[in-house]
Structures are given as C-alpha cells and as structure tokens.
Structure 1
Amino acid sequence: MAKLYFRYGTMNSGKSIEVLRVAHNYEEQGKKVLLLTPVVDDRFGVGKVVSRIGMQKNAIVVDDTLDMIELARTEQPNCILVDEAQFLSKEQVAHLIVIVDDLNIPVIAYGLRADFMGQLFEGSTALIAVADTIEEIKTVCWYCDKKAIMNMRCKDGEPIFHGEQIQIGGNESYVPVCRKCYASKLKSSLNA
C-alpha cells in the first residue's frame, strides 16, 4: 500500500540532495521516478532540482495547469518525488492524496515546515495534516550547536523579520537557526 511522506527541514538541511539521492536509487534499479518542483522555485532555473553541493536534475514543473493525477495515471511511475513542497497549494496536496490512495503510487514530498517568521506554509500545513509519515531532516544552528528548527532571513548578513512570506533564496538570504538564537536575534533587532 502506497503512502504519502512529508520530509521537512530547515534551509541547509539537505532536502534537495535527499530528493536527488532517492531518485538515483530508484533509477539505478531500473524503476521510474517522476520528479516534481513548484514553478515558484526559480532559484536555479524553473524545472530544476539543485542541491547546494552542485548535483542537479531536471524536474516537471508544478503549476496551476499541471494535472498531477493524469500525469501519474499516464506515466505509472514507481514513485513521485516533490521538492520544495511547501510551495504547493492545499488543492495540489489533495491531488497527491488521490495519487497515493487511488493509484497506489508512493509520494515523498520534501520542503520547509515554516517560513522565516515561524508561520507554516500552505503546502506544509496541508502535508502535516494528511501525510502518512512525517519525518524531520536535521541540521545544526548557524550560530550554535543546537538543532536548527527555524529559517532566519538575512539581508547583507543581518537578520530581518519582516517581508513577504515567499522570497526565493539560498545562503545569501537564509540561515538555519535554533529557536533560542532566533529569539535572541529578534530581540536584538527590536532593541536596535
């Protein structure tokens, strides 16, 4: 029986390299994988899954016009992998449920749990609510050795705590931090 997995972590936790590793493992065994990524993630070009260590693979772009259910029905993959799943809509997550439950195709979705203000993304909220299995991909805080659970947005190396929820970026824009370091940096910014 297929399952819907949500594997989440902060920035720099290795989510994209994990997507690419899992895809490689399936393909090495001669199995078919569909690799999906939301259209909003254009950091390295639309339709690409790219890890910070330089590995990359082309992916199918998820936008409002893509019928993921029909794609899965037609392609009959052994597994579907979704990178940057936090950017999915609630409706798109509902389509993943149909793929898992009705087509019996496992789906593994990778993404951030929350934004730089600690608010859940729409796709993450939906996945947390319905995933069969929820797993954390861990990394350490940028400032100390505790487990990072938050994403801190930075501009010119300084933390910022306001702005639009979605701002595509990498190490130049975000660092993974623990809750204590996040609170400390927030307090310092309010006192400045």
Structure 2
Amino acid sequence: MIDIIRGMTQLFFEYGAMGSGKTIEILKVAHNYESQGKKVLLMTPAIDDRAGIGVISSRIGLKREAIAIHKTDNLFTEVSRVDGELAAVLIDEAQFLEPFQVDQLADVVDKLNIPVMTFGLRQDAFNHLFPGSKRLFEIADKLEEMKTICTFCGKKAITQLRVVDGKPQYQGSQVFIGGDETYIPVCRKHWKNPDLKKLKEFFPANKKVSKQ
C-alpha cells in the first residue's frame, strides 16, 4: 500500500494483475485523505464502462463516481481547473491512459506540486505492456506492486488470462474490457499451460460479454 503520509510530491504507479485489489486501494486512499478533511480528485478512463462511464467500482461492490478521462483530454488542464486546494489526484485503470497524458500528470506533480497516484495493470492478457503503463514505468517516481495469487496453483500471479467461451485467448485486441467473467489472475506457467478442465469449471457459461 502506498503510504500517503509523506512530505514529498511524486508520481506513483501501483500495479498488479487483475484481482489484486487495486480499485479497493484507490478507494481506501481517497477515504483516508477525505477523513482528514482533504480534497482529492478521482479520475478513470471512460473506456472502462463496466459500472458506467466515470465510475470506479471494485469487485466487492464498493464504488464511487469519478471524472471520466477521454483519449484526447489534457489532464494537466483538467486538474488546473479544479476549485480549491487538492491534496492528491487519484487515477484508476491507468493502463488505459495515453502516454502523453502520463506526461501531463508528471507536469501536475512538477508544476502544480500535487501528488498523483495511479493504479492499474502492468501488461495485457498477452504479456505486453499497455502504452500508459509503459510510460509510467519510464517516468514515475515510485513503483509499487500489488500481489495476488494464481488461480490454479496459488503462486504469485504476474498477469491475467483472458477466457472467452471457456477457451484461453492468446491473440486479439489489446483492450478487451471485462471482469471476472473474462479474466483470471495467473502465474507465467499457467498462463502458458492453463488447466483446461478447471477453466470449464470456472467459466461454465462464459459468454462474449466483454467488448473491444
């Protein structure tokens, strides 16, 4: 967990496989700030509309409204327009940010002296970095991994397996929005060689409910 009690302003990226609790963490960080009477700005990319556009929603049912980020938005401008003093900018699903938007968040830190904490996936279901995550790895001041376990063996999960119609997917669109009905956290071994029998048990009626 990112320690929010600090005397420095930085760009943070907290990342992990699906199911590692990233969304719960961002909601907890927001609550911690607000319980101290401090103002935060919550943002999330509009492309992830599973709970509605501009909604941060966790798997356990906690949710909050947030500012929806579109691909052409200037995040430095958006933050600059906020009335009142901001204690932090908190961004969920940061892997979907454009690289230039990550640079704008760095400007928020460097020019406006506001901490920016981003939360998201490191890589896609084919083990390639998302452009937004790649840029965060390149320029973030602090990186922190949130851990979860492989669905099959209980070892550390490093990625997520995409499953459609009960079958693992190893090609397709990088962005394929979905939740527990489409993705499971896995280690490298079981990403390459998942237990197909167990997959059918996990996804007895898996349908193409996700969208590209």
Which category describes the TM-score, using the shorter chain as reference length? over 0.9
| Alpha-carbon distance between aligned partners in 2 of 1:38 and 1:112, rounded to the nearest angstrom | 13
Question: What's 1:189 paired with?
Answer: none
Alignment root-mean-square deviation, CA: 1.3
CA contact (8 A) 2:24 2:62 kept: yes
What residue ranges of structure 1 are gaps of 5+ in the alignment?
Answer: 187-192
Does 2:118 align with 1:109?
yes
Give 2:201's aligned residue: none
- Asked if 2 retains the 8 angstrom alpha-carbon contact of 1:147 and 1:178, the reply is yes
Q: Give the count of matched residue pairs.
A: 186
2:34 to 27, 48, 51: 27
Higher relative contact order (CA 8 A, sep 6+): 1
Indicate whether 1:129 and 2:138 are aligned.
yes
Name which of 92, 97, 106 aligns with 1:97. Answer: 106
Q: Are 1:62 and 2:69 matched, yes or no?
A: yes
Long gaps (5+) in structure 2: 1-7, 196-212
Shift in alpha-carbon separation, 1:46–1:118, aligned structure 2, 3 A: same
Instruction: Return the match for 1:175 from 168, 180, 184.
Output: 184
Question: Percent identity at matched positions?
Answer: 50
Distance in 2 (CA, whole Å) between partners of 1:149 and 1:180 is: 10
Q: Is the 8 A contact 1:90 1:123 kept in 2?
A: yes
| Greater mean deviation of Cα atoms: 68-77 or 150-159 | 68-77
- TM-score under structure 1 length normalisation: 0.93
Give the number of the structure whose residues are more often helix, by fraction: 1
- Aligned-partner residue type, residue 77 of structure 1: L
